Amino acid sequence: MGNLGYGYTPTHPGELLKEEIEYRKVSQSSLAKQMGVRYTALNDILNERRPLTTNTAMLFEAALGVNADLLMRMQLKYNMQIVRQDKTLADRLKQIRKMVAAF
């Protein structure tokens, strides 16, 4: 997606989590049961179709020992990357900046 001001392309936390569970040879269904979440929700996060919530980050931290703060920082940077690609929002922000500059 290109460099959008971070010096690197932000990664969805699901990518890191998916690599972690594959490395540990843990099945997604057993992890979902252990965490008390639906398999489809877990799979959507791991396949970057769903954002990570703070609650789910805490569940991953408990289940895998991956720091929830790290996961949420990754999600925030990923979210910012996505929103910066929104042309409609970019046009709206440009208009707001023009109006504010006129004051």
Q: What is the pLDDT of residues 31-78, one digit of tens each?
A: 999 999 999 999 999 999 999 999 999 999 999 999 999 999 999 999
* Alpha helices in 36-86, H assignment, sequence order: 39-46, 54-64, 68-84
* Alpha carbons within 13 A on the beta-carbon side of 90: 8
Give residue limits of the domains in the chain.
Answer: 13-101
- CATH fold, domain 13-101, is 434 Repressor (Amino-terminal Domain) (1.10.260)
How many helices (H) and strands (E) in the chain? 6, 0
Q: What is the mean pLDDT of the chain?
A: 93
What is the structure's pLDDT at 6?
54
Which band of pLDDT confidence, cut at 50, 70 and 90, is reported for residue 93?
A: very high
8 Å CB contact between 51 and 79: yes
What is the structure's pLDDT at 7?
61
What is the structure's pLDDT at 3?
47
